[in-house]
């Protein structure tokens, strides 16, 4: 018998236990990226962050829901970072197909509540399409969201006001997260510069998207000013994010889920 809830790692379970848990559990697929993060952060930044958040939130929700966390997908849609090197990217078509087949595998195992938890902006639209398309052909509930979107309200008076750009890219926010999680992987001296136009433009109300490949080269592959980062602030941000994501797990778990139809 299951208790009120529990947090488990998919990779550590037997097939039998996964089958038993699947119908009543939320399964979380963290999706990250392996891409350049300026001259000062590791290329695994997005993967480290979303993997940590996914599992920590599962543990935080364990008294309210059963959450199964799969291994983090370390590659994403990152073609805009390829010119810098240090980037492994999948084309839009390949990434869509890979994520879709991962989700279909989980549905085939019996999961009916699924969350694609995103840690890289380039993945956002694609995972949303996967969730929409599969929800139309399978009797399941699928959510797709970036961790900073889930925690936007909680971060509004902290990370947004202090860094000016959340998540940005290898700027003050992500540098703070790395300093909190893996400080040994960040350069001791973080670069400084005045806030580039890309960060200010992203804050304009109603502005949905800016696509400008040349801009990434102009700003050396990172937004805003990383030297404003601190590990203490990163821990504050992570605590807020983890709490918000845990609540999202519970909301997905307690909502009505379609039953299997033959």
What strands, in cross-sheet order, belong to the sheet with 113-118?
A: 6-9, 66-69, 26-31, 113-118, 141-146
3-state secondary structure of 93: helix
pLDDT at 30 over 60: yes
pTM: 0.89
CA distances from 38 to 76, 87, 223, 225, 246 (A): 17, 11, 9, 11, 30
- Average of per-residue pLDDT across 136-144: 97
Q: Residue 181 pLDDT more than 80?
A: yes
Query: Mean pLDDT score of the chain, rounded to an integer?
Result: 88
Spatial distance between the Cα atoms of 174 and 238, rounded to a whole number of angstroms: 11
3-state secondary structure of 130: helix
pLDDT category at 52 given cuts 50, 70, 90 is: very high
Residue range 58-83, pLDDT digits in tens: 999 999 999 999 999 999 999 988 99
Q: What is the pLDDT of residues 190-245, one digit of tens each?
A: 776 665 545 444 444 445 555 555 565 556 677 878 888 899 999 999 999 999 99
Distance CA 89, CA 66 (A): 32
pLDDT score for 255: 82
Q: Is 164 left (phi over 0), alpha (psi -120 to 50) or beta?
A: left
pLDDT of 224: 78
Q: Which of the following CATH numbers is that of domain 6-251: 1.10.3660.10, 3.90.1150.10, 3.30.360.10, 3.40.50.10310?
A: 3.40.50.10310
Report the candidate in 72, 64, 29, 68 with the shortest Cα–Cα distance to residue 47: 72
pLDDT of residue 1: 37
96: left (phi over 0), alpha (psi -120 to 50) or beta: alpha
């Amino acid at each position: 018998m299951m208790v009120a809830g529990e947090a488990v790692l998919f990779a550590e379970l037997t097939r039998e236990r996964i089958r038993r848990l699947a119908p009543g559990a939320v399964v979380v697929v963290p999706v990250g990226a392996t891409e350049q993060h300026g001259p000062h952060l590791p290329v695994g930044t997005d993967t480290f962050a979303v993997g940590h958040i996914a599992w920590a939130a599962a543990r935080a929700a364990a008294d309210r829901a059963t959450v199964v966390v799969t291994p983090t997908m370390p590659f994403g849609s990152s073609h805009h970072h390829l010119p810098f090197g240090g980037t492994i990217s999948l084309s839009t078509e390949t990434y869509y197909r890979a994520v879709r087949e991962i989700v279909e595998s989980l549905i085939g195992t019996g999961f009916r509540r699924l969350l694609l938890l995103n840690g890289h902006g380039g993945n956002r639209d694609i995972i949303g399409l996967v969730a929409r398309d599969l929800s139309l052909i399978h009797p399941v509930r699928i959510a797709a969201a970036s961790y900073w979107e889930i925690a936007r309200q909680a971060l509004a008076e902290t990370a947004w006001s202090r860094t000016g750009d959340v998540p940005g890219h290898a700027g003050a926010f992500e540098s703070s997260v790395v300093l909190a999680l893996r400080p040994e992987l960040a350069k001791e001296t973080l670069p400084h510069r005045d806030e580039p136009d890309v960060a200010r433009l992203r804050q304009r109300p109603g502005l949905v998207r800016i696509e400008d490949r040349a801009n990434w080269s102009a700003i050396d592959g990172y937004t805003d000013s990383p030297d404003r980062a601190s590990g203490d602030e990163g821990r504050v941000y992570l605590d807020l994010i983890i709490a918000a994501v845990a609540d999202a797990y519970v909301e997905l778990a307690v909502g009505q889920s379609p039953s299997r139809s033959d």
